[in-house]
Structure 1
Amino acid sequence: MPDLSMFTIASTVVAVLGISIGVMLPALAMGWAISRAMEALSRQPEAERSIMRTLFIGLAMIESLAIYVLVVVLIVLFRNPLLEYLLK
């Protein structure tokens, strides 16, 4: 049986990097979307309902990307598919 400690450390480091990048980019997109929505509201306050509805739908879509990243990272971290090949 090969030494699995290096493989475990490497997969943990990759999982941490993956979740940090995978959450940072949607967070930046959310900030950008909220900033643009506030600019649109300052220009057209009468369109508040339409802008806010579209903003919340967009934010939900962006947040789902971060959740998908979390799910994939947890799958790779706790049920690593490469581990089966390493144990053979």
Structure 2
Amino acid sequence: TNLCLRACMTCCDRCKCVPPGTYGNREMCGKCYTDMRTHRNKHKCP
């Protein structure tokens, strides 16, 4: 859960947005949220 929380906080901080619901709905926060990737090219934001 620590990793998830860290990822959420990074996305929230950089994009100034938290999508509704518990998972998915990335597109609600726009390109900042959907385009952020990890080093392994996976979605950073849950």
Range of TM-score over shorter length: 0.3 to 0.5
TM-score, normalization by structure 1: 0.23
TM-score by length of 2: 0.40
Between 1 and 2, higher relative CO (CA 8 Å, sep ≥ 6) is seen in 1
The structure that is helix-richer by fraction is 1
Query: Which has the larger Rg?
Result: 1
